[in-house]
């Protein structure tokens, strides 16, 4: 159930924006998606936050909107609001009440829904277990790599199966050599340091199928490979975001030492929630400041936004 946070809108300050800029093909796509959202009566936002375990609300004074996608319904409604003058949309990854285990989340619908309302930057906070003794409860780690140990998750939009409108996606191979947005990682790290929370810069997040926690043998193996933390929801979110040319940043909060890094009885669901409750306010502040530090309004200039350059998806992206 590794996965999340709890939050309410707060007082991060918006950075000054450039007065003029070049307008690229990618900017045009973003603008069209946003305009389409507004014309349909659905609010728009350029920044999305996907919350996990214990993270079922994030914004105050929200507009709640139910959306559907060619891949089915997302985990819950979309909740629109503002942080520091920026339009933000929140989606509870497990649904309100945590009714979706990590292996049953409709990750494709979640990412498609966010892009359809104009989102181009995604923050994905999640709870994880530490694989090293120095990564104890309360550690904030911003990974730069992940390792996929899931077993049965759909992890691409480009599988050749027809969509409801009759269009057929082409087979597309995107690079995930560096799966997280470099600009988003910078914003997250700076936000954490600004809150006097020295984060771990980089490391590999091992994503397991869940919903069970690791055995000691599995955990010892992950640690022996040099990996840093283990969770259940970081994949396929990052890959699907890259396939839609979205920027995706994972922000992990260690809630426990994993089975191979401790000698007790192992982690429990209650342990995870208890540590989250103790760190909610700090993590909330980090997320607010990270949102304010993200490049938006055409300021993006990272590999994520160019992930589909020269490729033909074969389908109309939202």
Catalytic residues: 256, 258
The candidate with the shortest Cα–Cα distance to 232, out of 218, 246, 247, 217, is 218
How far lies 114's CA from each of 21, 57, 118, in Å?
25, 16, 7
Contact 81, 287 (CB under 8 A): no
Do 140 and 249 touch, CB atoms closer than 8 A? no
Q: Output the CA torsion 224→272→188→229 (10° steps).
A: 10
DSSP characters over 73-89: --SS-EEEEEETTEEEE
Rounded CA separation 58/119 (Å): 16
Distance CA 74, CA 111 (A): 8
């Amino acid at each position: 159930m590794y996965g999340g946070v709890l939050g309410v809108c707060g007082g991060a300050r918006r950075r000054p924006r450039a007065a003029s800029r070049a307008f690229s093909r990618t900017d045009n796509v973003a603008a069209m998606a946003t305009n389409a959202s507004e014309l349909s009566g659905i609010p728009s936002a350029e920044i999305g936050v996907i919350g996990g375990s214990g993270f079922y609300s994030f914004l105050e004074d929200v507009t709640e909107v139910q959306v559907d996608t060619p891949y089915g319904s997302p985990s819950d409604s979309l909740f629109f609001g503002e942080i520091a003058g920026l339009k933000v949309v929140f989606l509870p990854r497990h649904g309100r009440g945590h009714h979706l285990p990590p292996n049953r989340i409709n990750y494709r619908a979640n990412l498609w829904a966010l892009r359809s309302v104009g989102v181009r930057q995604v923050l994905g906070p999640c709870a994880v277990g530490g694989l090293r003794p120095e990564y104890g409860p309360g550690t904030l780690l911003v990974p730069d790599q992940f390792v996929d140990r899931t077993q049965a998750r759909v992890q691409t939009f480009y599988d050749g199966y027809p969509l409801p409108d009759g269009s057929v996606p082409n087979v597309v191979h995107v690079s995930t050599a560096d799966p997280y947005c470099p600009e988003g990682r910078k914003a997250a790290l700076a936000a954490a340091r600004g809150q006097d929370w020295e984060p771990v810069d980089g490391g590999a997040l091992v994503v397991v199928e869940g919903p069970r926690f690791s055995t000691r043998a599995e955990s010892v193996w992950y640690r022996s490979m040099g990996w840093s933390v283990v969770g259940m929801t970081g994949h396929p979110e990052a890959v699907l975001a890259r396939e839609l040319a979205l920027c995706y940043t994972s922000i992990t909060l260690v809630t426990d030492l994993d089975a191979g890094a401790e000698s007790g009885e192992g982690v429990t669901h209650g342990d995870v929630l208890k540590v989250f409750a103790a760190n909610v306010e700090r993590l909330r502040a980090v997320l607010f400041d990270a949102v304010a530090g993200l490049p938006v309004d055409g300021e993006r200039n990272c590999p994520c936004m160019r992930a589909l350059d020269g490729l033909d998806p074969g389908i109309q992206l939202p």
